[in-house]
Amino acid sequence: MTDLTDKVIAKGAEANLILKDFSDLFFSSDEPGEVLVKRRIPKKYRNEKLDKNLRDFRTVHEAKLLAEAKKAGVPTPVIYRVDRKDMEIVMEYVEGEAIKEILEGLDSSKRKEVCENIGQLIARLHSSGIIHGDLTTSNMIFSEDENIYFIDFGLGETNSDTEARGTDIHLLHRTLNSTHFEVAAESYDAIMKGYKDEMGKGAEEVIERVREIERRGRYVKKDER
């Protein structure tokens, strides 16, 4: 249940994001700053038991993926607590800006560096059998110490199939073309360079699958996509 003092910074279809003071949740700690609480909200149109089970699964599954991604060498928020009663993940609040907000404002050299890093991080996920599921520039945070954090694994899964990997990258390619049109080609090329450098063997198969997925899309009516 949302407290009147909660600072809701985003409301989504599945969850709300809330900022809280660290000391409000962890009373014995002197740790300064804020934490981010991702709280999955109930859906009244679903059967109550089914809804509870679904939210519980997604809460635990996302926390697991965040932890597994970190083990794979991908910066993700530190998880402080998983609350299966209130369907919450309490995690580190990463100070920084979404890649979506800064990508076009970077000079070409810096943008290529950032995008190559993004490609490397995606390859680390894929090499570890992790599919992000919502690879957009909104779900990547450029932190104050210039690390790139991947966030929001709510649609993620464990899957090593070429199709799943290709779909993951295809979504990012679409995001670049629709949101960052002026720098999309340069950015995507740099992401793919980083992906290939990190992934090594198997990268070309994934990239070819991305091309195949995009060819399929050209022959599907817009209202059927």
Instruction: Name the residue among 156, 165, 159, 161 with its Cα closest to residue 60.
Output: 156
Strand order in the sheet with 148-150: 96-98, 140-143, 148-150
Contact present, 41 and 15 (Cβ < 8 Å): yes
Q: Which two tokens stand for residue 79?
A: 């998880």
Pairing of strands 96-98, 130-131: unpaired
C-alpha to C-alpha distance for 58 and 53, rounded to whole angstroms? 9
In which element (H, E) is residue 122 found? helix 108-127
Whether 134 sits among the annotated catalytic residues: the reply is yes
C-alpha to C-alpha distance for 33 and 19, rounded to whole angstroms? 10
Instruction: Name the residue among 99, 88, 119 with its Cα closest to residue 206.
Output: 119
**φ, ψ at 218 (rounded to 5°):** -65, -20
Residue with tokens 């810096």: 110
3-state secondary structure at position 61: helix
- Choose the catalytic residue: 21, 134, 189, 223: 134
Active site residues: 134
